[in-house]
Amino acid sequence: MRRLGLSTLAAAAARPFSGGSRSVSAEALPETVPPAIRLDTTHNAYGPPPGTAAVLAQGLPAIAEYPNEVVVDLRAKIAVHHGVGAEQVVLGCGSGEVLRMAALSFAASGKTLILAAPTCGLIARYAAAAGATVRAVPLNKAYGHDLVAMATAARDVRTGLIYICNPNNPTGTLTRRRDLDAFLKVIPPTVHVLIDEAHHPYAEQTAETVSFLDARLDDDRIIVTRSFSKIHGLAGLRVGYGVTTAVTAKRLECHQLERNVGVGAARAAMLALDDIVYLAESVRCNTDDRQEFYNQVHARGLRVIDSHTNFVMLDTERPATVTIEHFMRHQVRIAPPWPSFENHIRVSLGTRPEMREFWRVWDLMPRVAMHRM
């Protein structure tokens, strides 16, 4: 099913899932649930765009050579896509490499990295390994970035980099664009800000969710990262990128791996960037899947944190470790527990058969009596 691409996403009328608004064709459904269900990662459950396999096959004759022109073409295509110059685009082996470049460039020894807690911890590990101090600022009461507290922390002269994952991983919460604009006005001009938009394409497009890539990017302090591993369904190929000014891009590239994107990966990424129909279908299907997840949550009297992504933080009403172990015994993988969210689990939205199995396994757990305030 993960390889059916748009044909699977477009199928819509055969087998409803617990009253949900979307269904998939009977032909697309496996006869049995796979032996291990992966709901612990945040990739597109429906896989890559159609035609990906053909594009990879076409590139086979070039695998004996180092990547060259095709990578230049990918960089140029990304630049056109976002209305920037090619010199403003930095390619990475996944967006994680761009995070590493930023950590080494602006949060090395003697510097401080500021980020939320909890959030994606990859950049924190890179900064700590480089000798930086990592300062974590707890999320606010709405489970979003506490920009006031982060701005206060940034007054420390050692602060070199602030990391904002938007939407945030693992909570799925969104920081409003107007709040980010105000934030940038009050932090010191010497501090760089990396805005990780790996999951931004899943968010509903409104004035509150406007990306920094939707307008001219001319502030040397700002770095925006995107990934082909999420909505584009290319997690196994490892392609990501950052967009910033030409000045900042040159600093990042000092720490870039040589020939970091392969020929096949670059070809597939260009295909994915062009396939706006598949992107729109992925967004639509994810919105439906997330609403169905909420329906199942409400039917059981549970609670979640409102998400703008393809994963949801669910309050399990018991220690998360107990829930995770229960699902592991039934061959369903859930992400590890998150600090300060001892009773929550992050559930990545899978295919409909996978989510049916998730709720079947959930219902095997004994109910927990909770006294809610």
User: Is the domain defined by 6-49+276-362 classed in CATH 3.90.25.10?
Assistant: no
Neighbours of 152 (CB within 10 A): 14
Closest CA to 269 of 221, 308, 304, 230: 230
pLDDT in tens, 270-298: 999 999 999 999 999 999 999 999 999 99
Exposure of 139 in the CB half-sphere (CA atoms within 13 A): 25
pTM of the full structure: 0.88
pLDDT higher than threshold 80 for residue 111: yes
pLDDT in tens, 158-184: 999 999 999 999 999 999 999 999 999
Q: Locate the domains of the chain by residue range.
A: 6-49+276-362, 52-274
Residue 372: band (very low, low, confident or very high) from pLDDT cuts 50, 70, 90 = very low
Contacts of 344 (CB under 8 A, 6+ apart): 305, 313, 314, 315, 316, 320, 337, 338
Distance from C-alpha of 75 to C-alpha of 224, rounded to nearest angstrom: 15
**If you average pLDDT over residues 102-115, what whole number do you get?**
96
With a pLDDT cut of 90, the percent of the chain lying above it is 79
Six-digit token string for 371: 């006294």
For domain 52-274, the CATH architecture is: 3-Layer(aba) Sandwich (3.40)
